[in-house]
Structure 1
Amino acid sequence: MENIKLIDGKFIENNTDFVNLIAALKHGFLSKDIIVPLRHHHDFPNPKTNSDSTMLLMPSWNPNKNAGVKIVTVSPKNGQYNLPSINGAYIYLDATTGVLKAILNAKSLTVKRTAAASALASSFLSNKDASSLLMIGTGALSTNLIKAHASVRPISDVYVWGRSLKKAQAVCDQLNNEKFKSTPIETIEEKISEVSIISCATLSKTPLVFGKYLRPGQHIDLVGAYKKDMREADNETISKASIFVDTFQGGLKESGDIVIPIKEGVINASDIKADLFHLCSQAHYGREHSNDITVFKSVGHALEDLIAANYYYNTYTNA
């Protein structure tokens, strides 16, 4: 037990190279060896906040190499306690012996791998000359999504919207040293029709991205709305777009952005073009025409966690 590595959020924050992490994820999605059961998703009542909390258990393993499980809780009302809504740990194991090798900060791991997965999708789905991005949401994911997208596309202008203009400004302030210009905006409508990429990472239960504002050639990255009754894009957005998901396994079952339009007959499950396994293996090439509107829906996948845990473990042990 004395050899267990404790990899905290500070280490993960200071040792992330999105180009390398995205490349590691791409290699992982190409692998045929990693086994990923459907994640456990359990909602439980939280009477003190009058809002359900969620426990997520995400196991995966690569036989003879490594294994792990992420244990995460999501408590949307944690703001009143001045605590983050997402908390948890990642348990990283030797797959042959079962020996515990490391415990990693799950929030930091999740933020980084989620941003990297969105950027990986963008490398297939956004136009190669995409130079502007609208970030909807001001949580921990926002700066990471911006940086990750900027690592695969020549982003020069970033606009940030949040329910608080002060929080949007704070996100921009954190990006002062980046090569792109960051500007807080008061309304989504100010820039949604102008930007190349729209990235949305919120806990909203009602749409924030409306199809009536979209123009040909845009790419929409939907990262929030992790439950069936939550959504970030309206039906018009979904009906206008070529739709892609991180995995069919989770994408068709877990998010309102996909589940609700299917239930309402706006789209069929067969309308979803491909997932990251297909994109990375070139079974589907992604964007077909420069004028297409593309949507990528991310719900998260335990493969991403295992690959990211291995990335940080190797970085830690080789430091």
Structure 2
Amino acid sequence: MKIFDADATRAALPFEHLIPALRERFAQGCVVPPRHVHEVPVPGGEPFTSLIMPAWVPGRYYGVKTINIAPGNAARGLPGLHASYLLCDGSTGAPLAVIDGDVLTHRRTAAASALAAQWLAPEDAKHLLVVGAGQIARLLPEAYRCVRGIEQVSLWARDPGKAQALAEALRAQGLPVAAVTDLQAACAAADIVSCATLATEPIVHGAWLRPGTHLDLIGSFTPAMREADDDCFAGASIWVDTEEALQKSGELLEPMGRGVFRHEDVRGTLEMLSRGEVPGRTSAGERTVFKSVGTGLEDLAGAVLMQEP
């Protein structure tokens, strides 16, 4: 059985290979049951939540990711989230690899945004705005540069110090990144706006976006979270990674509840795009929105890529 720690997982999942692997897996499909959610009690302490996300290709591969979320870890000086992934043979159940789930999750999430951008972002997009300064935000410039000719990256975060520190780190890697403090002006100037935050109230406003902008929303994965206001969706072409996004993201549930758009207005999913069942962007002036919540299919695609480089 292979063991991939964080560094090995990172090295085994370059975006130029991971993005096509996601496209192939979305096109071919796999079995993705609903995730299991368990609250694990801690005697004398705060419980933590454990998510169990299985997926398999019948007869070939079976994989399962476990994510443990412990908000109380902040007081201990520990990360609040720990994930691990187990890849097994799909016929015998024999374990094949144990993979660092944090790195796998971060990289497949950024890759999914870049995959969507292949169809939804303007062909001539050169200016990317990243909203956020966390682990996924730091990967977005590299991922997007695999699918578009990005020449300028702006980076905004609630904490200007964190934005500046991340911009400096990315520039040291040779990426054209500059921290900005005026989010409204940055949104108006960007061709692509990609948000990866834990915001619970909208921070990006549709009135700030010009025609033709592609808006990528990563952060809202519960009904209580939002990164974009209702105006971001009004009049836009809306896409999701999977139908699950329409059931669990406050980003979509709230404006749908107010009649800003309907379920049937959503143009399609990554599966439909990858299979060529629907077109993506249809005009230069079309404003597009892509909302993702993640799926076990993406984890499995990454793990199989590591098994079959």
Would you call these one fold, judging by a TM-score over 0.5? yes
Kindly state the Cα deviation for residue 223 of structure 1 after the two structures are TM-superposed. Answer: 0.5
- After superposition, the Cα gap between the structure-2 partners of 1:74 and 1:295, relative to the gap in structure 1 and judged at 3 Å, is farther
* Partners of 1:47 and 1:230 in 2: CA distance: 30
Kindly state the Cα deviation for residue 46 of structure 1 after the two structures are TM-superposed. Answer: 9.0
Answer whether contact 1:211 1:240 (CA < 8 A) is retained.
Answer: no
Answer whether contact 1:67 1:94 (CA < 8 A) is retained.
Answer: yes
Stretches of 4+ aligned residues off by more than 6 angstroms: 43-50
Q: 2:274 aligns with which of 264, 280, 290?
A: 280
- After superposition, the Cα gap between the structure-2 partners of 1:258 and 1:48, relative to the gap in structure 1 and judged at 3 Å, is farther
Kindly state the Cα deviation for residue 180 of structure 1 after the two structures are TM-superposed. Answer: 4.1
* Partners of 2:163 and 2:85 in 1: CA distance: 30
- Which one-letter code corresponds to 1:284 in the other structure? V
Secondary structure at the aligned position of 1:60 is classed as strand
Answer whether contact 2:13 2:302 (CA < 8 A) is retained.
Answer: no
For residue 80 of structure 2, what is the aligned residue in structure 1?
Answer: 85
- Which one-letter code corresponds to 1:40 in the other structure? H
Kindly state the Cα deviation for residue 5 of structure 1 after the two structures are TM-superposed. Answer: 1.6
Residue 205 (structure 1) aligned with residue 200 (structure 2)? yes
Answer whether contact 2:225 2:249 (CA < 8 A) is retained.
Answer: yes
For residue 21 of structure 2, what is the aligned residue in structure 1?
Answer: 24
For residue 40 of structure 1, what is the aligned residue in structure 2?
Answer: 36
Kindly state the Cα deviation for residue 24 of structure 1 after the two structures are TM-superposed. Answer: 0.6
Q: 2:92 aligns with which of 72, 92, 97?
A: 97
- Which one-letter code corresponds to 2:14 in the other structure? D
Kindly state the Cα deviation for residue 53 of structure 1 after the two structures are TM-superposed. Answer: 5.5
Kindly state the Cα deviation for residue 157 of structure 1 after the two structures are TM-superposed. Answer: 0.7
* Partners of 1:19 and 1:165 in 2: CA distance: 31
Q: 1:188 aligns with which of 170, 183, 188?
A: 183
- Which one-letter code corresponds to 1:90 in the other structure? Y
* Partners of 1:189 and 1:49 in 2: CA distance: 42
Q: 2:8 aligns with which of 7, 11, 15?
A: 11
For residue 271 of structure 1, what is the aligned residue in structure 2?
Answer: 265
For residue 71 of structure 1, what is the aligned residue in structure 2?
Answer: 66
* Partners of 1:83 and 1:291 in 2: CA distance: 45
* Partners of 2:174 and 2:140 in 1: CA distance: 15
For residue 56 of structure 1, what is the aligned residue in structure 2?
Answer: 51
Kindly state the Cα deviation for residue 312 of structure 1 after the two structures are TM-superposed. Answer: 1.8
Cα displacement string for residues 178-232 of structure 1 (whole angstroms, at most 9, x for unaligned residues): 5542101123123111100001011111011111111101001100111011111
- Which one-letter code corresponds to 1:140 in the other structure? Q
Q: Which runs of 5+ in 1 are unaligned?
A: none
For residue 301 of structure 2, what is the aligned residue in structure 1?
Answer: 307
- TM-score, normalised to structure 2, is 0.94
Q: Which runs of 5+ in 2 are unaligned?
A: none
**What percentage of residue pairs aligned between the two structures are identical?**
37
* Partners of 2:294 and 2:175 in 1: CA distance: 27
- After superposition, the Cα gap between the structure-2 partners of 1:70 and 1:239, relative to the gap in structure 1 and judged at 3 Å, is same
* Partners of 1:130 and 1:42 in 2: CA distance: 42
- TM-score, normalised to structure 1, is 0.91
- After superposition, the Cα gap between the structure-2 partners of 1:284 and 1:78, relative to the gap in structure 1 and judged at 3 Å, is farther
183-192 or 34-43: which moved more?
Answer: 34-43
* Partners of 2:90 and 2:152 in 1: CA distance: 44
For residue 155 of structure 1, what is the aligned residue in structure 2?
Answer: 150
Cα displacement string for residues 87-114 of structure 1 (whole angstroms, at most 9, x for unaligned residues): 1111111110011111111110000101
Kindly state the Cα deviation for residue 84 of structure 1 after the two structures are TM-superposed. Answer: 2.8
Q: How many residues align?
A: 309
Answer whether contact 1:93 1:100 (CA < 8 A) is retained.
Answer: yes
Kindly state the Cα deviation for residue 165 of structure 1 after the two structures are TM-superposed. Answer: 1.4
For residue 108 of structure 2, what is the aligned residue in structure 1?
Answer: 113
- After superposition, the Cα gap between the structure-2 partners of 1:193 and 1:139, relative to the gap in structure 1 and judged at 3 Å, is same
- After superposition, the Cα gap between the structure-2 partners of 1:82 and 1:145, relative to the gap in structure 1 and judged at 3 Å, is farther
* Partners of 2:156 and 2:139 in 1: CA distance: 15
- After superposition, the Cα gap between the structure-2 partners of 1:170 and 1:80, relative to the gap in structure 1 and judged at 3 Å, is farther
Secondary structure at the aligned position of 1:73 is classed as strand
